[in-house]
Amino acid sequence: MNRPNLVFLVLPIVLGAATSSLSADAPAAIDVAAEKTSLFDGKTLRGWEGDGAYFRVQEGCIVAGNLKSEIPHNYFLCSEQTFKNFDLELEVKLVGEGENAGVQFRSRRVDDSTEVSGYQADAGRAWKRSVWGALYDESRRRKMLAEGDPELVERLTKPGDWNHLRIVCRDDRVQIFFNGERTVDYAETEADIPRQGVIGLQIHSGPPTEAWYRNIRLRKLAD
């Protein structure tokens, strides 16, 4: 298929170095305001690139998709920068008939496609259950790599409201925290899987849907 026209907007982002260690069982205590840098200025899509027909800024949030028509393909708004080891957090809200979106990381665009290949922290529902905070391999191995306890995830999920995701990557290790609880602690064993790539915000194909993203902050971790 033909690749959609992309809107390219670039803004250098300065990120502070990290010195604290990652706990094996829980997220490290971090002063977000002091140590994390915003990847979204709340007004423009500077620093990101994607199809302008499916991404916009509204009410200080990045809004993906629409509530008027079917979403024909998966679309992604991707960071201009790539990241390897990092601590990322953001809030996500789904509105409309569809129930699925996600946050790509250590990913790359697929040539001649709207797709992005790489890790995804899932948001929403699939297979008649909540998949918030799960780790999916988008357009690559095409399978769930790890999921949280179903009862815990269902209890934590806030349908139609803001949900908090935190993604921590350090070398082979990927951790995902959903609304303050760890749902994934995954160790990558395949050497050919990239440990660095872009961050992407997804709107999934399907019924009219909007995925809202806000408070997107990242702190680089030492290699």
Question: Comparing C-alpha atoms, which of 19, 22, 46 is closest to residue 34?
Answer: 19
User: Alpha-carbon distance 79 to 54, whole Å?
Assistant: 15
- Let me know the angle formed at the C-alpha of 181 by 40 and 83, rounded to the nearest 5 degrees: 35
Is the distance from CB of 47 to CB of 81 less than 8 angstroms?
yes
Is the distance from CB of 187 to CB of 199 less than 8 angstroms?
no
Is the distance from CB of 135 to CB of 119 less than 8 angstroms?
yes
Would you mind telling me the total number of residues written for the chain in this entry?
223
Tell me which CATH homologous superfamily contains domain 7-220.
Exo-inulinase; domain 1 (2.60.120.560)
How much is the pLDDT for 2? Answer: 43
86 three-class SS: strand
How much is the pLDDT for 101? Answer: 97
How much is the pLDDT for 18? Answer: 34
How much is the pLDDT for 4? Answer: 43
Determine the distance from the C-alpha atom of residue 119 to the mean position of all C-alpha atoms in its chain, rounded to a whole number. 9
Alpha helices (H) along the chain: 32-35, 150-156
How much is the pLDDT for 45? Answer: 98
Give me the tens of pLDDT residue by residue for the chain, a chain 223 residues long: 444 444 444 334 333 333 333 444 544 444 444 479 999 999 999 999 999 999 999 999 999 999 999 999 999 999 999 999 999 999 999 999 998 999 999 999 999 999 999 999 999 998 888 999 999 999 999 999 999 999 999 999 999 999 999 999 999 999 999 999 999 999 999 999 999 999 999 999 999 999 999 999 999 999 8
